[in-house]
Structure 1
């Protein structure tokens, strides 16, 4: 399994693909915009004009794109993977999309002898660059074991979560927890700011205690520096929260805190800030209080 096709050249996809090349895999790259894939091509990757061309000689094909319709188009649409996929191909979708749609796509691909694994990721841009992603995989366990070395070239925590769709469902759980962490960081630092505390001192004190977390370590300094560069964009966070709330309705599980976070993120998006990093949530919290920084 040395020939990999990789589709998607976003914030996460580019460093993930480069790490695979560094691990001595032969990699063919496709994205909607060729210029975004140029760093991968410069690192030794080969360009493919379409997903079908990328899949033609691949043993494994990885998708890391934005949303459910994007994955469906890449895998099953015109000039898509299904047009040239050989029997035995393993497709790994590392996007965050609908678990139900994942299962349907898996059935369609299986009819052509292609196996789908859903393996969404967490860890942000830094995790992708440093090959320290958390990877949550669903699908046939024997296929998961075959591609595990590929996962190990991109991530540190690799977990088999169960049948197809289980990886996506686990990622939605992750996103519920993440958005609450971002909310707590935003509220805590807005509170500290309004109370007149020095934010750098506050961050140093809280990072070393029970409030300490990876998110606080990464996002806290960005908030203090007014750095809105995204490790994860507001638009993408809202896409994930929509998936969470849709699934929560299906299984009749109430998520009141997540619903509130979704509303506050929506307010941020309505201000034209969908491409800001999720740390920009603090500005919505500030707007609800006396601090108008």
Structure 2
């Protein structure tokens, strides 16, 4: 069991809620903020304390985790009125787990240092399943000594925790992750579409190919959902498109061409225009079977 912390957690969505549950199970004091209190009722019943602003959470916390939707949301909870920086005490550690811009991660780290706080960028991968099981992959950027302090908490809900380097390195690593997923999702969908056209039993096909050279997290975890026509979000299409846009913006700055990612964006953009934003990324299969 880890030493007890007074923990703030801002953003209790699909993944954040599961992380909070793991922290509560370890008997940490957890202070939470979400825009809709009703969606946090289950966590409140388990012992989390809900507050009306991010700033109120920060006042009560030694460490504040954030996992919100978009870079503009990150800006708001850190730098806005009633935000984290305006209300935190000296020595507070902030950990942004949102998949966001590397440049914003650096901005947060620099400001934290200027007000005698510490900051990490620590985006995650593993979706709702990884969050529920406490096996998330966590990619961390920032000061290495700060990483060492927070590692015991990361181990509560993470299975593969890797320090990547200075501020922003965690976010850059997450971009690598999203790039790999984006093109892999196309391959998974095309394999299923092909198998169906060939008259095969797709579940039986997956038994063979999921453990071979074609194996991937998406093939093992999302392909079965595709077969069941289960579009429930482990990760929203609208958030995946946000990540893809960030990766393409960063690639442009580095003068790097990513044609596979461009194609994935075009396909997900089409689904988004048809109202799929709140579906899981596995809904890409509808591009082939609709």
Deviates more, 1:208-217 or 1:119-128: 208-217
Q: For the residues of structure 2 that align with 1:2 and 1:124, how far apart are their CA atoms?
A: 25
Which deviations, in whole Å up to 9, do the C-alpha atoms of 1:87-123 show, x marking residues without a partner?
A: 1100000000000111112222222111110000000
Unaligned runs of 5+ in 1: 287-291
1:57 shift after superposition:
2.6
In 1, are the aligned partners of 2:22 and 2:134 still within 8 Å (CA)?
A: yes
In the TM superposition, 1:129-168 aligns within 5 A as: 129-168=132-171
How large is the Cα RMSD of the aligned pairs? 1.1
Equivalent in the alignment of 1:205: 208
Match of 2:239 among 236, 240, 254: 236
Structure 1 moving runs of 4+ over 4 Å: none
- When normalised by structure 1's length, the TM-score is 0.95
Q: Does 1:34 align with 2:37?
A: yes
Equivalent in the alignment of 1:289: none
Equivalent in the alignment of 1:18: 21
Equivalent in the alignment of 2:93: 90
In 1, are the aligned partners of 2:31 and 2:60 still within 8 Å (CA)?
A: no
1:62 shift after superposition:
0.4
Equivalent in the alignment of 2:225: 222
Other structure's SS at 2:222 match: helix
Q: Does 1:69 align with 2:72?
A: yes
- When normalised by structure 2's length, the TM-score is 0.96
Q: Does 1:273 align with 2:276?
A: yes
Other structure's SS at 2:214 match: coil
In 1, are the aligned partners of 2:225 and 2:282 still within 8 Å (CA)?
A: yes
Q: For the residues of structure 2 that align with 1:37 and 1:71, how far apart are their CA atoms?
A: 19
Q: Does 1:122 align with 2:125?
A: yes
Deviates more, 1:14-23 or 1:106-115: 106-115
Q: For the residues of structure 2 that align with 1:135 and 1:148, how far apart are their CA atoms?
A: 10
Equivalent in the alignment of 2:111: 108
Unaligned runs of 5+ in 2: none
Other structure's SS at 2:65 match: strand
1:231 shift after superposition:
1.0
Which deviations, in whole Å up to 9, do the C-alpha atoms of 1:191-233 show, x marking residues without a partner?
A: 1112222212211121232112221111111111111111111
1:35 shift after superposition:
1.2
Other structure's SS at 1:28 match: strand
1:150 shift after superposition:
0.7
